[in-house]
Amino acid sequence: MIAESIVNVSMGDLGIARNVRVVKLEVASNAFTLAASFVLQEEDTSNVFILLDGDVYRKESKKRMQLKKFYQELKKIIIIRWIKKLWRTIKERLQYTAQPQSI
Q: What is the pLDDT of residue 6?
A: 84
Q: Does residue 3 register a pLDDT over 80?
A: no
Cβ–Cβ under 8 Å, residues 28 and 52: yes
User: Largest Cα–Cα distance in the chain?
Assistant: 72
Q: Does residue 10 register a pLDDT over 70?
A: yes
pLDDT tens digits along 16-66: 888 888 888 877 777 878 887 887 788 888 888 887 776 676 777 887 787
Burial state string for 1-31 with b = 16 or more CB within 10 A and e = fewer than 16? eeeeeebeeeeeeeeeeeeeeeeeeeeeeeb
pLDDT tens digits along 88-102: 888 888 887 766 666
Cβ–Cβ under 8 Å, residues 57 and 63: yes
Question: pTM of the entire structure?
Answer: 0.48
pLDDT tens digits along 68-89: 877 777 777 777 777 888 888 8
